[in-house]
């Protein structure tokens, strides 16, 4: 088979990269008997999802290495912290995903080829929240 004869279909490209950090929190806005009102911790997984209509360089939406500043931000600002003590909002997964999307838009998007589509924040293997960025 001549592999060069395979037609490449039109369309866009999407990539994702997963990051992790450990943090504790509580949600003081809940009823005192709710389990999430008490201090507890999570092994958070955060996925950054980017898209582009074309590829750059050798064939990337964005070089995964260009996302290293996001990992550095997670490690220095959020890892092993009490999120309710440092974030300016009640740290639900939904709000955390929105906040991290804002960080990527403000700090990375001006310097990378891909456009942020969404940020997914996973608290447990069974629980996650996703913030979808409106197309700009």
Tell me: pLDDT of 36 over 90: no
Segment 103-134, tens digit of pLDDT: 999 999 999 999 999 999 999 999 999 999 99
Cβ–Cβ < 8 Å for 28, 37? yes
Which percentage of the chain shows pLDDT scores above 70? 99
Distance CA 89, CA 68 (A): 25
Segment 59-89, tens digit of pLDDT: 999 999 999 999 999 999 999 999 999 999 9
State the DSSP string of 25-74. E--TTS-TTSGGGS-EEEEEEEEEEEEESS-BTTTBSS-GGGGHHHHHHI
Tell me: pLDDT of 135 over 70: yes
How high does pLDDT run on average in the chain?
A: 95
Q: How far is CA 36 from the centre of its chain?
A: 22
Domains of the chain (ranges, CATH numbers): 12-132 (3.30.479.10)
The token pair that represents 47 in the structure block:
């996925």
The model's pTM is 0.93
Active-site residue numbers?
36, 80, 123
């Amino acid at each position: 088979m001549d592999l060069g004869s395979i037609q490449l279909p039109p369309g866009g490209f999407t990539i994702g990269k997963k990051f992790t950090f450990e943090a504790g929190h509580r949600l003081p806005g809940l009823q005192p008997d709710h389990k999430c009102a008490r201090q507890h911790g999570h092994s958070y997984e955060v996925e950054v999802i980017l898209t582009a209509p074309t590829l750059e360089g050798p064939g990337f939406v964005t070089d995964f290495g260009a996302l290293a500043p996001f990992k550095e931000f997670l490690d220095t600002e959020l890892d092993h912290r009490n999120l309710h003590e440092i974030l300016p909002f009640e740290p639900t997964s939904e709000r955390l995903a929105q906040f991290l999307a804002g960080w990527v838009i403000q700090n990375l998007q001006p310097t990378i080829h891909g456009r942020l589509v969404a940020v997914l924040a996973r608290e447990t293997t069974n629980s996650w929240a996703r913030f979808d960025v409106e197309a700009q």
